[in-house]
Structure 1
Amino acid sequence: MAWFKKKEMEKLALIEVGVPLVGSIVELTEVPDPAFAGGFMGKGMAIKPREGKVFAPFDGTVAHVFDRSNHALLLEHASGVQLLIHVGINTVSLKGRGFMPRVKTGDKIKTGQLLMEFDITEIEQAGFPVITPVLVPDDQEMVKSVETLADAAEPGGAPLLRVHLK
């Protein structure tokens, strides 16, 4: 939060979250995991990737790389709002196999920057769906609501989510 001056923070009421993967957008309800599909992890969308790359959807910081499994990233916008990008379902079981992070916890990131590469074929051959939830985790005090937007996933195009702040 130190990146913004107080006056800039007062003006900030909306964050647009870009599309972090190339693929098809699907509702979270279509994710084959009850925690994501039921909205228990947060609000957002999912992407069925056509390419094994994750890009930064906004400028910010890598809050956490799930470093033993490398299957997920927690990103933090300068406002303090966090975003979870979880590549695949139950992919933690792969213990990092097929995932190549290009950033580490604490790194500053810029919109469009390559954050991770992953092997779609290896993940699917191991028996795991590669569908990727992209969501704003619940219990973030500053988040008023999350609006879902995109129809087709293309990084650099229309935003995937709009996060309305209190």
Structure 2
Amino acid sequence: MKWFGKKSNSVSVAAPLSGKLVPLSEVPDEAFAQGLMGEGVAIEPTEGRVIAPFDGVVSHLIDTHHALIIEHSSGLQLLIHVGINTVALNGEGFKALVKTGDSFKAGQTLLECDLDKIRDAGYPVITPIIVANEDGAEKVECTFKTVNAGEPDAIKVVLKT
């Protein structure tokens, strides 16, 4: 996908879920918490609906529907990973409303998930939001606060130049 026009050095990302924005260090998984998966933040969700934080394309929908990688026109790719170790649920409690290759608009629902079912199965619902292309971001900025899904400018990703 080509992007024409003035190239910005940052991407404004709306909140993909309602809940509390927290640092990755609060994620109970070492790979995410230590930033080994990439730069990012996490949301402790209060609602089981993942919405598109910008206009873009689904780069990859994980077959168990617990995670997806989305791409912005700048080339920035974000991994939204609902819960920790939720791949073990084999898709139970998750419903994808998009597939790999689909285009989407900001605010469109991408995934639905049953947070109670995930918790009842013994998994944390905290959701890391990670820059998936390691050459994509210099830093990820946000104010750690409660956000509503679709809230504009919840996260700012400063792109590498």
- The TM-score bracket by the shorter chain reads over 0.9
| Aligned mate of 1:91, from 86, 89, 92 | 86
| Aligned mate of 2:106, from 101, 104, 111 | 111
The C-alpha deviation readout for 1:28-57, integer Å capped at 9, x for no partner, is 101100000011111111111111100000
> What's the TM-score, normalizing by structure 1?
0.90
1:147 equivalent in alignment to 2:141: yes
Cα distance in 2 for residues equivalent to 1:108 and 1:150 = 29
> What's the TM-score, normalizing by structure 2?
0.93
Unaligned runs of 5+ in 2: none
Letter matched to residue 146 of structure 1? V
Cα distance in 2 for residues equivalent to 1:91 and 1:41 = 16
| Aligned mate of 1:23, from 13, 19, 22 | 19
The C-alpha deviation readout for 1:116-163, integer Å capped at 9, x for no partner, is 0000111111110011011213522x4333223351121232423212
Percent identity of the aligned residues? 50
SS in 2 for 1:47: strand
**Between Structure 1 and Structure 2, how many residues are aligned?**
160
1:1-166 mapped onto 2 (5 Å cutoff): 1-2=1-2, 4-5=3-4, 8=5, 10-67=6-63, 69-137=64-132, 139-140=134-135, 142-165=136-159, 166=161
SS in 1 for 2:28: coil
Cα distance in 2 for residues equivalent to 1:109 and 1:32 = 30
